[in-house]
Amino acid sequence: MRTPMLNSAKIKEWMDSAADSISEQQWFQELRGKWEELDPQSRNYVKLAAFGASVLSVFFVILSALWSVHSLNNELSEKRALLDMIQSANDELRMLKSSIPGGAGAERESSWASYFESSASTSGLDRSSLNISTEKPGNSTDQTKEAMYDISIKHISIKQLVRYVVALENGQRPVKFRNMQIETKGDSQGYLDVNLALSAFTIVEPK
């Protein structure tokens, strides 16, 4: 209970000391002398001018604060609009991926055989020209599961083969080619028969 009283006494002592120090300054003495030389009406004018200046200063401070709040609100609105735009773009991209063959949604829902066939269609191949073997188990780890497939393709051009291989290697699902056998059979139109041996990897979701 004594501490607040001591603090108040110290503050009052400091204020009195500061007032005495200011009153001893020459500029204060000169200002006080000029004030005493003024007649009562002039003193009233000076008081009104000082009061008006104080009010004007407070008005400008409030106006500046309101302008700062307005600017912050505009900046916040712009950032919210940008976040909404990014979120909308992410949602649209997610929907597009799920609708594209081999996308993230297809990876969960379609089999590997369906994925190979859909990739063939996007590469300009007829699905009926593919013969996909049954799955053979490969090496698996805690993170991935390997499945091995053999794909034979009849009557395919070099251009179609390149597109198909690139589509599988750069697709949404991890595929690695182990071997490729090409039979030309002297086709005058340049069509080939191809046997592809590849490994397909599935990411194992943590339990």
H-type alpha helices, the chain: 2-23, 26-37, 40-99, 104-109, 112-122, 158-169
Average pLDDT score over residue span 184-196: 78
Is 31 within a domain?
Answer: no
Question: Does the pLDDT of residue 100 top 50, yes or no?
Answer: no
Query: How high is the pLDDT of residue 89?
Result: 61
pLDDT of residue 82: 66
Count up the domains in the chain and report the number: 1
Note down the domain range covering 125.
Answer: 111-203
Over the stretch 165-188, which tens digit does the pLDDT of each residue have? Answer: 988 988 889 999 999 888 876 666
* pLDDT above 90 for 134: yes
Tens-digit pLDDT profile for residues 51-63: 777 777 877 788 7
Nearest to 106 by CA among 199, 167, 171, 170: 171
On whether residue 115 sits in a domain, the answer given is yes
Does the pTM surpass 0.85? The reply is no
With beta carbons less than 8 A apart as the criterion, state whether 172 and 106 touch.
yes
Q: Which residue has the higher pLDDT, 112 or 94?
A: 112
Residues 44-69 have a mean pLDDT of 76
Q: Is the model's pLDDT at 142 over the cut of 70?
A: yes
- Asked if residue 137 belongs to a domain, the reply is yes
CB 185 within 8 A of CB 193: yes
For residue 53, being part of any structural domain is answered with no
Q: Average pLDDT of the chain?
A: 76
180 found inside a domain: yes
Does any domain span residue 93? Answer: no
Phi, psi of 152 (to 5 degrees): -105, 135
13 in a structural domain: no
Q: What percent of the chain has pLDDT over 70?
A: 67
Whether the per-residue pLDDT at 4 is higher than 80: the answer is: no
Rounded distance, CA 49 to CA 18, Å?
Answer: 26
> Does 45 map to a domain?
no
Task: Write the CA distances from 152 to 58, 135, 165, 167, 185, integer angstroms.
Answer: 85, 14, 13, 16, 15
Model confidence at 75, pLDDT cuts 50, 70, 90, reads: confident
144: domain CATH number?
3.30.70.60
